[in-house]
Amino acid sequence: MSLKASMRLALALTVIMGGMSQAHENTPVPSTAASTDDPYLWLEDIHGTRAMDWVKTQNTVTQKQFADNPAFTQTRDRILEVLDSDARIPYVARRGDHLFNFWQDKANPRGLWRRTTLEEYRKAEPKWEVLLDLDALNKAEGKRWVFKGSDCLKPDYRRCLVQLSPDGGDAVEVREFDIASKSFVKDGFHLPAAKSQVGWIDDNHIYVGTDFGPGSMTTSSYPRIAKIWQRGTPLSAAKTVYEGKMEDLSVSASHDRTPGFERDFVSVAHDFFHSDTYQLKDGKLIHLDVPVDAANVDAHREWLLVQLRSAWTVGGNTYPSGALIATKFDDFLAGKRQFTTLFVPDEHTALSSYSWTRNHLILDLMDDVKTRLDVLTPKAEGNWAREEMPGAPKFSTVMVNTDPDRSDEYWLIVTGFLTPTSLERGVLGEGKAQTLKQSPAFFDASKFEVSQHFVASKDGTQVPYFEIAPKDIKLDGSHRTLLYGYGGFEIALQPFYSGSVGRAWLERGGVYVIANIRGGGEYGPRWHQAALQANRLRAYEDFSAVANDLIKRGVTSPEHLGAEGGSNGGLLMGNMLTLYPQLFGAIACEVPLLDMKRYVHLSAGASWIAEYGNPDDPKQWDFIKTFSPYQNVKSGENYPSVLFYTATSDDRVGPVQARKMAAKMEGMGHRNVWFYENTEGGHGASADNKQTAYMHALAYEFLWDKLK
C-alpha cells in the first residue's frame, strides 16, 4: 500500500495526464481574477447555448478541412484496427485465483469487464467469464457509461465497488457489484456521480470521501472529508474520520487487510507534492513523522518505506533526494530512526517505481530513461540482499505488477519503440519469467532505428531525447518530424510501442521524437524541481533546444517540424507557439492549460498551484505570466498552424482554455487556427476506441498536411 503514490497517480494520471458535483464544477467560480476585460469569458459557460453553438461551428470547419478526405479515413481506420485488434494483449490484474481484465473492441465499444484463470490465460484463446457488459448496461439504462475501474474486497474478491463515469470525466457513480450473481447489489453501497474516493474496510464498512454537500469538497474539487460508512445506513449517518482544509488538495482513508498487519491510514494531500500520513488506531490518529514532501510512504507487512523528494537528516544520517529508505514499521512508531538505504540516485539513474511481492522488493530503475530491474530481499538485522533481474531489450521500458498478499509472483510488461509489447509472468526464486502474451507487430519496424541524443539547453544542462527514424535517413532537413513532450508533475516519458504512431506517422516517412525535458521525472525529483514555478521556462528552453538540435543535425527544418502535447504538455505546446514560433511548422495542442491567469478558477485547476504557482498572488503572477500563452499571444505575429482539441466532459483541465485560445487567436486575425471538441471522454478526450482513433487521426492528418 503506497499511500502518497496512489493519491498522486489517481489525481495525476487517469499521465493531470481527475467534489463538487458535475453541475457545480461546470459553473465558473467568481473571483478577483474574474473581474477582467477578457472578451471570451462567455466560452467558460461550458454547456451554454452560445458556447456550444461556437463549438459546433468550429468542429464543422475543422472536420471539413482535415477529416472529409480519403487520407483521414485511411489513417483513422488503420489506427482503429490497432485499437480493436483481437491480437492485442488483454492486460490483467490478479485478484485471488482470477485474472481480471477490461476489454474494448468493435463489437464491444464501451467494453466488457471480465475474468479468467491463469490456466485459461496461458491459452492462445482463453475463455472469459463476462462480469459486466457496459454496452448492454447502457442499452438497458439509456445511458453512456464509461468504465473507470473497480475496488474488490480481499481476500475472496466477491464484492466490488465499480466506478462508472456518465461521460468519461473524473466524476464517477459508485455501485456495489456482486461477482457471484454478476449484478449490482440491491440496496448496496451507492454514490451518485462525483469525484469520490472509496475503499473497503470489511464486508459492511467502507471508507468514503465524496460530495457530502456544500463545503465538503476542496477548492481543487476533491473530497475534503473522509468518513466510515456502514452498510444499511444512509450516507448522512457516515462517521467522520478526518476533515481537511478547503485549501488542501484531497483527503482519503484506506484499510490494509494483510493478515497480521491490519492497519488503517489517513492521507491528507496538501498539494501534489506535500502530504501528511496518519495511522488510525483505536480511534486516534498517529502522525507518521516523515518529510511532508516524501514521494511515497509505504507500509508493507513489518516494513515502512520512504521515498524522498528532498534530502532528510534523521537518526544522525542524511539521506539524499531521490533515495528510497526502509525501517521496521513498529520500530519507527516507537521512536527509532535508523533506516537502511535501498536506493540512491546518481547523475544517470533514478527510481521510477517499486513493487512488493510477498517476500521481495522489485526496484524499477531508469538509467538515462531506460529500464533496469533490481530485486531486494530483506534479511536479518535490517540487511537487504540485492540482485539484478535479467536485462530488457535496449531502449525499452519494463513495467512491473505484483500481488504482495499472494506470493512472489510478478508480471512484466516489456515494451520499446520498435519492439511489440510482451507480457511475462514469473515467480521470484523459480527461474526466468515466461512470456504469456505477445502483441503483434502493427507496422514493419525493420525499416527504422532508435537512437538517443543529448543536447545542451540554454543553461548548459544536457537534455536527452529519443529519435525513431528510417535507417537510411538523409540529413537534408526535408523530413516531416513530430516532436512530443510533457515535462511536468515528475512524470517520465519512457520508450513505448505504439502501432498508431507506427502506422500514422513512421510508415508514411515521418520521424518521431520524444523529448525528456525537465519538469518530468526522468532523473528523479531534481529533474522535476528544476522546472517548478518560477523556473518553469527551463522546461520550454529544453524543448526548444531539442527542436534546434533536430534542425541543426539536418533531421528536419522549421517548416517540416511539428510538435504535439496534451494537458501539461498542452501548456508546453502553447509556449512553443508563443515563445518559439520560428521553430515549428505546425503544433497540435491537446486538452491544454493555456490561460494561466485564471487556471486556478477553472475545473480542478487549484490542485496544480504547487506545480505552477498562484496567479492570484501578484508576486507569483510576475513569473507565471511569462509562460501563460493566453496572455502572451499577440496580433501581427507569424505563428505556425495550430490545432486545439479538447472535450466538453473534461472535468480536470476543462475545455474552456482551448476554446478561449482558439477564439482569441481568430479574433486577432490569425488564420491557421483550428479547433475541435469531442463531447465525451473526459481528460482523455475519447470514451471508446472509435473516438480515440478519430481524435488521433485528426491530429496526425493536421500535422502531416501542414508540414508538407
Radius of gyration of the chain (CA): 25
The H or E element that residue 183 is part of is strand 183-184
Structure-block grid coordinates of residue 626:
511569462
- What nine digits make up the cell of 197? 474516493
DSSP-derived letter for residue 662 is H
- Tell me which of 457, 683, 686, 696 is the catalytic residue: 683
Whole-number Å distance between alpha carbons of 336 and 353: 26
| Alpha-carbon gap, residue 346 to 348, rounded angstroms | 5
Assign 3-state DSSP to the chain and report helix, strand, coil percentages, each to 5.
Answer: 25, 35, 40
CB-CB contact of 657 with 602 (8 Å): yes
| Residue 138, all three cell numbers | 447502457
Minimal CA–CA distance to 247: which of 227, 221, 266?
221
Task: Give the integer Cα–Cα distance in Å for 63 and 645.
Answer: 12
- List the strands of the sheet with 409-416, edge to edge: 396-402, 409-416, 419-427, 434-438
Judge whether 255 counts as a catalytic residue: no
| CA separation, residue 383 to residues 302, 359, 361 (Å) | 14, 14, 13
Omega before residue 155 within 30° of 0, cis: yes
Euclidean distance between CA atoms 140 and 98, whole angstroms:
28
Judged on CB neighbours under 10 Å (0-12, 13-18, 19+), 552 is exposed
Is 567 one of the catalytic residues? yes
Distance CA 8, CA 484 (A): 23
Closest CA to 31 of 600, 592, 594: 600
Rounded Cα–Cα distance for residues 171 and 192 (Å): 9
Between 568-579 and 537-552, two packed helices, what is the crossing angle to 10 degrees? 60
Of the candidates 651, 687, 646, 679, the residue with the CA atom closest to the CA atom of residue 196: 651
Burial class (CB in 10 A: 0-12, 13-18, 19+), 5: middle
Q: Which residue has the cell 531521490?
A: 322
Task: Catalytic residue, from 567, 603, 628, 686: name it.
Answer: 567
Single-letter amino acid, residue 615 = P
Indicate the helix (H) or strand (E) that contains 250: strand 250-256
Ranges of H-type helices in 43-166: 49-66, 70-84, 118-121, 134-141
Active site residue ranges: 567, 683
